[in-house]
Structure 1
Amino acid sequence: MRGHRTNSAERRCELRMQRRELMVLLGNAAVMPLLAPLTAFGQEANDQTPDQMPAPPTELPSPEVPLPPERVRRLGVLTSGDRHDRDALARLDALQDGLAAKGWTHGRNLQIEARLSAAGDDRGMTQTAKDLAGQSPDILVAVDRVSAEALAAAAGNIPVVFVNVVDPAGVGLVKSLEQPGGNITGVGRSEYGASISWPEMLKLIAPNVMRVAIIRDPDATTDHGQIAAISDVAPALGIEAFALDADSLRDLERAITGFSRTPNGGLIVTIPESSSRDRSTIVRLAARFKLPAIYADRQFVTSGGLMSYGPDQKAEYRLAADYVDRILKGDKPADLPVQTASGYQLVINRKTARALGLNISPTLSARASELIS
């Protein structure tokens, strides 16, 4: 038993070393080999006594023929963020864990090549996608709508699996959720289900909120459905909902500043890809005007936002890893329906709540999946 615990500890150490290497390489914005050293295990001692040993063979055995090396498959990953973005690292970490559970180990039968493109730099994302597809990997993974669209345009015949895309059929990535068609499939987000809970969550932590500004991207078709869902449930909670467009940082700041002049306001930020490049600005303005805010993605909370409510990221990447595994084993993306991860996570930033003078009730604390200090 002690030996077993030692091997497990060594394995955890190896994984931590592997992830530290990933963090360093992400900082250099380069191709990222996720090295995973292999452990060699010795053979068990033979317990037979000399008298029990079999007689030596009369002829020398034939030399063993070495097994052919296992084929190494290549996986390209395109993610958005910057070199200090811990959430970008967490996404890659979650994907790697999901692949390991399916038997895909970097350095043994899988080579992972990741590219990081600055959020909001559409031209850079397009070029990075072309560079990654130009390496001719066996399969590609995109971590959001922007990277999925860039890879879909650059991939050619290379299969693509996406994660974290709201309404992939509506934005034109797939023909339908049941029959994606083409060479792309993945894990979508059903944000309309989360949308109806955002006003309730915000009211639970900030009971005085009576007006809510919904930060939206006017060019995103999915935002219209979310705003309709929020507007349907808000009146029953005593909340009046408004939509604010975020065409530019200047427009966004002007809109939030104007909205904050009337008391008892709050913010709802609908989807990650509509505002990731403005994340620090939104969080800063919410703090400046003391506006309680709820976000669709955890990354806002780790950046200082109050709270988020959205799908379980690890569950999403387990599903994506399953599709990568199936495609590498011969399945066609066109035959794999778009999946949606079940379950949502509520994440609350305690420090931000204190700064806003808000108390986290025992009921809300019990519902939280994570409390960040």
Structure 2
Amino acid sequence: MRRREFILAVGGAAFAVPLAVRAQQRDELRRIGVIVQVAQDDPEAQASVAAFKAAMQELGWRNDHNLQIDLRGAAGDPERMQALARELIALKPDVILARSTPVTAALLRQTRTIPVVFTVVSDPVGERFVESLARPGGNATGFTNVESSLTGKWLELLKEVAPSVKRVAFIFNPKLAPGGGSYYTRLIEASAPSFAIKPTVVPVSGADDIEHAIDEFASKPNGGLVVLPDTATLVNRNLIVALADRHRVPAIYAFRIVVTEGGLMSYGIDVLDQYRQAAGYVDRILKGAKPTELPVQLPAKFVMSINLKTAKRLGLEVPMLLQQRADEVIE
């Protein structure tokens, strides 16, 4: 081969390789749909999705490089959840990340082929999202936010910070809560006698219902609130905190963010950590694993947060031993 022809051949090959690599990178762009149950700009959603993206990046997936993330927020609206599920499924993503029971239900009504990784779901077997925790058996797997002692722990902590509590209202939206509310209802009613507490079921459908229900419940003494981890209570968390303050009613929540925004105390999963764990499952699915091969994960730990400013406003003295046990104390 002549020298000029050799140089051209080598140079052309060198030029072709980067083009091939760039083309391969474009071909390998993977698409993830993400649906959160609250509004897309809700601080809870923003923090959770940021944790997921950071974990994905640590695993080698960078948004707009080899990954495209399509984020949607349902703002607590069941009809919008259905519409967003249809919208994302039509985009044919490689996997969908879902937050909450109603969002996961909306997705699985419309696809049994696209892999779904769920987070903060209370009863995936009872909701028929999976066949069993160990062997999901379909196109969905993920992470739960409950174990059997959780509701008893809510009552125990509420009594510890407010010993005078003898009545507890537990607030939920039947359209959005696990099992229509029956999942937590059974657990709380089973736990309540151990703490000499009379439980009161308070189903609500929106802000007006919440205000009326808390106003009525707080009209009698020695009451407390257990705010269940459903979409309606999270969307309306600021209203619930304000009403609890107005009536000087102690309340315990399932999510830390409520305490950082003024709620008295919370006990529940570390939501951000669960999103980081979900990134691990999404990564494995993108690399070829099937949801049915990935067991549903139970919570590894629960975290407790206490807001001493709110306790002071409510006239409560938080025991020092309880403060020492807390993972976070806001002063």
Which amino acid counterpart does residue 293 of structure 1 have in structure 2? A
CA RMSD of aligned residues (A): 2.4
TM-score by length of 1: 0.77
2:201 corresponds to 1:235:
no
Larger CA deviation: 347-356 vs 286-295? 347-356
2:160 corresponds to 1:204:
yes
Cα shift readout 1:143-201 (whole Å, capped 9, x = no counterpart): 11122122223345321111111101111222222222221111122243321100111
2:21 corresponds to 1:68:
yes
TM-score by length of 2: 0.86
Q: What's 2:324 paired with?
A: 366
- Whole-Å Cα distance in 1 between the matches of residues 102 and 265 of structure 2? 24
Q: What's 1:166 paired with?
A: 122
Q: What's 1:117 paired with?
A: 74
Is 1:213–1:267's contact at 8 Å kept on the other side of the alignment? yes
Which amino acid counterpart does residue 118 of structure 1 have in structure 2? A
Q: What's 1:356 paired with?
A: 314
Matches within 5 A, 1:1-373: 62-63=10-11, 64=14, 65-66=17-18, 68-69=21-22, 70=25, 71-82=28-39, 84-119=41-76, 121-155=77-111, 157-218=113-174, 220-221=178-179, 223-273=181-231, 275-373=233-331
TM-superposed deviation, 1:367: 1.8
Residue 148 of structure 2: SS of its match in structure 1? helix
| Structure with a larger share of its residues in helix | 2
TM-superposed deviation, 1:357: 1.5
Is 2:40–2:71's contact at 8 Å kept on the other side of the alignment? no
Q: How many residues align structurally?
A: 314
Residue 31 of structure 2: SS of its match in structure 1? strand
- Whole-Å Cα distance in 2 between the matches of residues 260 and 150 of structure 1? 35
Any unmatched runs of 5+ in structure 1? Answer: 1-58
Is 1:170–1:222's contact at 8 Å kept on the other side of the alignment? no
**Identity rate of aligned residues, in percent?**
40
Is 1:312–1:342's contact at 8 Å kept on the other side of the alignment? no
Which amino acid counterpart does residue 314 of structure 1 have in structure 2? L
CA gap of 1:124–1:247, structure 2 versus 1, over 3 A, is: closer
- Whole-Å Cα distance in 1 between the matches of residues 74 and 190 of structure 2? 37
Any unmatched runs of 5+ in structure 2? Answer: 1-5
CA gap of 1:107–1:253, structure 2 versus 1, over 3 A, is: closer
Residue 339 of structure 1: SS of its match in structure 2? coil
Greater length-normalized contact order (CA 8 Å, ≥ 6 residues apart): 2
- Whole-Å Cα distance in 2 between the matches of residues 98 and 174 of structure 1? 25
